[in-house]
């Protein structure tokens, strides 16, 4: 039973560029949430996707956007990258919007 | 961003000792979760709590949903070296889908 898988594991981008991160949820899960984790901090909620719609959004600018596909996988897009966007981006899946989150191992994004 | 307060921030303990940590919020939550995160990995779900006063165990771990619904507690009994890591609490309020995470408790076990 595959857990949550994320790709790529590491990424280095230059300020101003755009990036796309990908997530496949755990088998049987239909909801995907994205979190940003800065070094030494707890994860911060970016947004959640359920039934291919963004259900709730955290305090992140419009440069952060996402998508959920019919097979429940999801993408996180970040435009016009800033140095401060450097972080671990975590994808979590759940069986429904309010159920406990199961996390992948994240994508480490470094913006130079 | 909003984060829950976790205490202590970090702790060194001897192998075999019991560990207690807690998490407090200014908001009432209807679900509390506890996670452990190892370096280079994502958080792993340890325990989920759904109602005030609930006490749930997972092996040597026991967590409680505070009766005020604004706090939660995690205890680890007879700690072992592999308990090393960062423990996070997370909570969600009714009507939202946004789990808010704590600041983390770093646990180091001395063999």
Q: Render each residue's pLDDT in chain B as its tens digit; 111 residues.
A: 678 999 999 999 999 999 999 999 999 999 999 999 999 899 999 999 999 999 999 999 999 999 999 999 999 999 999 999 999 999 998 888 899 999 999 999 887
Q: Which residues of chain A have a CB within 8 Å of the CB of B56?
A: none
How far B3 CA lies from chain A's nearest CA (Å)? Answer: 7
Nearest Cβ partner for A55 among B31, B42, B97? B97
How confident is the model over A76-100, as a mean pLDDT?
96
Q: Do B43 and A103 touch (CB under 8 A)?
A: yes
Say yes or no: B87 contacts chain A, CB-CB below 8 A: no
pLDDT of residue B3: 81
- Give me the mean pLDDT over the A62-89 stretch: 98
Among the partner-chain residues B1, B31, B101, the one whose CB lies closest to the CB of A59 is B1
Is the bond preceding residue B8 a cis peptide, omega within 30 degrees?
yes
**8 Å CB contact of A42 and B48:** no
Restricting to A residues 24-83, those with a Cβ less than 8 Å away from any Cβ of B are 33, 35, 40-45, 48, 50, 55-56, 58-59
pLDDT score at B110: 83
> What tokens does A17 get?
């560029």
Cα A8–A83–B103 angle (5° rounding)? 80
Task: Give the torsion through C-alpha atoms of A50, A52, A58, A59, to 10 deg.
Answer: 180
Pick A111 or B1 by higher pLDDT: A111
Give the angle subtended at the CA of A91 by the CAs of A86 and A92, to the nearest 5°. 145
pLDDT of residue B1: 64
> pLDDT tens across A12-31, in order?
999 999 999 999 999 999 99
Q: Evaluate if residue A99 carries a pLDDT over 70.
A: yes
CB contact under 8 A, A56 and B96: yes
């Amino acid at each position: 039973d595959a857990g949550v898988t994320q790709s790529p594991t590491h990424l280095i981008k230059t300020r101003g560029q755009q990036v796309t991160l990908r997530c496949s949820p755990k088998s049987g899960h239909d909801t995907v949430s994205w979190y940003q984790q800065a070094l030494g901090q707890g994860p911060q909620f970016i947004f959640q996707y359920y039934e291919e719609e963004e259900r709730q959004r955290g305090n992140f600018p419009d440069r952060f956007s996402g998508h959920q596909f019919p097979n429940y996988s999801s993408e996180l897009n970040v435009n016009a990258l800033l140095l401060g966007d450097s972080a671990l981006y975590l994808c979590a899946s759940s069986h429904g919007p309010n159920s406990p989150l199961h996390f992948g191992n994240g994508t480490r994004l470094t913006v130079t | 961003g909003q984060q829950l307060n976790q205490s202590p921030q970090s702790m060194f303990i001897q192998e075999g000792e019991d560990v207690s940590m807690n998490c407090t919020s200014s908001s009432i939550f209807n679900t509390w979760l506890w996670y452990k995160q190892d370096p280079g990995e994502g958080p792993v779900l340890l325990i989920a709590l759904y109602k005030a006063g609930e006490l749930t165990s997972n092996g040597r771990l026991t967590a409680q949903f505070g009766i005020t619904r604004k706090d939660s507690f995690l205890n680890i009994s007879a700690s072992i070296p592999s308990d090393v890591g960062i423990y996070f609490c997370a909570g969600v309020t009714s009507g939202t889908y946004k789990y808010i995470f704590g600041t983390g408790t770093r646990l180091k076990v001395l063999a």
